[in-house]
């Protein structure tokens, strides 16, 4: 198994400090009794997967231990960096306890019917936005994910899958459309999970950091991941068998190490992740090319829709902002106004 990243000493100290702080709070409130004698010294770990009240934590050597969580750990997801301890005696298949979670560099949230917004994965460096061209390439959906990437601070990469289904002319037309995104600073890769075309180029983006595949159902996310990690399906099955949690495991997020380096989070629920929880102001910020014009509208509360003296609309008219992107912006705002997930 590939070696995982280590926390720096300073990071470890910080989380250990937070952990003891949190434990003290817990004690004072009488929330839980901390039985330190039952556990080894605190160490840094990486959450590979979370199942209900349990999580699988990987240590610095790549070994995975199933842990309970202190009640003071309010939120824990795949990709979280934690401070944990090994149990000195095994109890019911659980071999450790998670004391504290390090501050996240990024987090992906999804709307949950019962819980409102729910984090699903943390510390992601690259959001791989997968689209397929047939029947049509939806630039509007790409724009929605790009807004999400901008707002979460995760670098996006546009991946167009199923190039094997395209004629040379069709491919060229798509490349021209995507060249517009390149001008905005977004890279793209054309691939085929089926023929293998473009896969080495895609792999180059995955070598460092943690990546996640997002995109609508059927665009080929699973096919791409399986082609990058031939053992993925087998590993997924292994998890279901070991955990004994039945059907739940199939919807659980999980972190994998790529053979060539870099980590991949597979999160089946992530395609539902949408923009409906964003404010109009955040959507505006999510369109990077609007930035130079913001603050230049006649009215301070300009919605950039049909307001007079709007600098954004002016930039669209003069060709400095693409019509297509502005239309996408309007569409996203309109779908949000209906108070429903924008992917519906």
Ligand X SMILES: Nc1nc2c(ncn2[C@@H]2O[C@H](COP(=O)(O)OP(=O)(O)OP(=O)(O)O)[C@@H](O)[C@H]2O)c(=O)[nH]1
Q: Is 172 annotated as a binding residue?
A: no
Closest by Cα among 65, 70, 105, 71 to 87:
65
Distances in Å between the Cα of 192 and the Cα atoms of 157, 262, 285, 301, 307 are 16, 21, 32, 45, 44
Q: Hey, what's the torsion of the CAs at 145, 146, 151, 152, to 10 degrees?
A: 70
Nearer to ligand X, 26 or 268 (CB): 268
Picked from Zn ion, ligand X, none, the partner binding residue 271 (CB below 5 to 8 A depending on kind) is ligand X
Residue 246 CB contacts under 8 Å (≥ 6 apart), including other chains: 240
State the Cα–Cα distance between residues 273 and 111, nearest whole angstrom.
Answer: 7
The secondary element (H helix, E strand) that includes residue 148 is helix 139-152
Binding residues among 279-298 for Zn ion as defined by CB under 5 A: 297
Nearer to ligand X, 64 or 141 (CB): 141
Q: Tokens for 291?
A: 């930035």
Interface segment toward Zn ion; rule CB under 5 A; list 30-38, 102-110, 243-251, 301-309: 301-309
Binding mask 267-296 for ligand X (x = CB under 6 A): ----x-------------------------
Q: Is 159 annotated as a binding residue?
A: no
Distances in Å between the Cα of 130 and the Cα atoms of 11, 116, 270 are 33, 26, 12
Residue from 128, 304, 329, 336 in contact with Zn ion (CB under 5 A) = 304
Binding residues among 187-246 for ligand X as defined by CB under 6 A: 192-194, 215, 217-223
Tokens 């959507």 map to which residue? 283
Phi-psi category of residue 79: left, alpha or beta, with phi > 0 → left and psi -120 to 50 → alpha: left
Nearer to ligand X, 145 or 290 (CB): 145
Interface segment toward ligand X; rule CB under 6 A; list 157-165, 170-178, 281-289, 317-325: 157-165
170 binds ligand X (CB under 6 A): no
> Which residues sit at the interface with Zn ion, rule CB under 5 A?
297, 302, 304, 310, 312
Residue numbers in the known binding site for GTP are 161-164, 215-223
> Which residues sit at the interface with ligand X, rule CB under 6 A?
161-162, 164-165, 192-194, 215, 217-223, 271
Residue numbers in the known binding site for Zn(2+) are 297, 302, 304, 310
């Amino acid at each position: 198994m590939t070696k995982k990243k280590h926390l720096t000493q300073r990071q470890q100290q910080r989380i250990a400090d937070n952990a003891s702080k949190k434990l003290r709070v817990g004690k004072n409130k009488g929330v839980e009794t901390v039985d330190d004698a039952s556990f080894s010294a605190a160490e840094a770990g990486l959450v590979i997967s979370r199942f209900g009240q349990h999580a699988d934590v990987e240590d610095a050597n790549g070994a995975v231990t199933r842990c309970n969580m202190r009640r003071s750990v309010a939120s824990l997801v795949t990709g979280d960096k934690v401070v944990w301890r090994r149990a000195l005696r095994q109890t019911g298949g659980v071999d450790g306890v998670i004391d504290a979670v390090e501050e996240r560099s990024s987090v992906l949230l999804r709307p949950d019917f019962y819980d409102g917004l729910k984090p699903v994965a943390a510390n992601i460096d690259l959001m791989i936005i997968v689209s397929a061209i047939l029947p049509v390439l939806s630039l509007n959906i790409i724009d929605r994910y790009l807004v999400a990437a901008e707002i979460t601070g995760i670098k996006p990469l546009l991946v167009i899958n199923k190039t094997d289904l395209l004629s040379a002319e069709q491919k060229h037309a798509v490349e021209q459309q995507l060249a517009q995104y390149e001008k905005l600073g977004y890279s793209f890769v054309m691939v085929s999970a089926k023929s293998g075309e473009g896969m080495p180029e895609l792999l180059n983006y995955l070598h460092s950091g943690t990546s996640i595949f997002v995109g609508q159902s059927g665009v080929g996310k699973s096919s791409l991941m399986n082609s990058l990690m031939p053992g993925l399906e087998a590993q997924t099955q292994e998890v279901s068998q070991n955990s004994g949690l039945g059907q739940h495991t199939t919807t659980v997020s999980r972190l994998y190490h790529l053979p060539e380096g870099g980590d991949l989070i597979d999160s089946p629920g992530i395609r539902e992740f949408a923009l409906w929880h964003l404010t109009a102001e955040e959507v505006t910020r999510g369109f990077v090319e609007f930035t130079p014009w913001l603050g230049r509208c006649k009215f301070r509360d300009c919605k950039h829709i049909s307001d007079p003296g709007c600098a954004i609309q002016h930039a669209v008219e003069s060709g400095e902002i693409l019509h297509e992107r502005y239309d996408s912006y309007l569409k996203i705002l309109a779908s949000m106004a209906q108070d429903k997930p924008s992917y519906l």
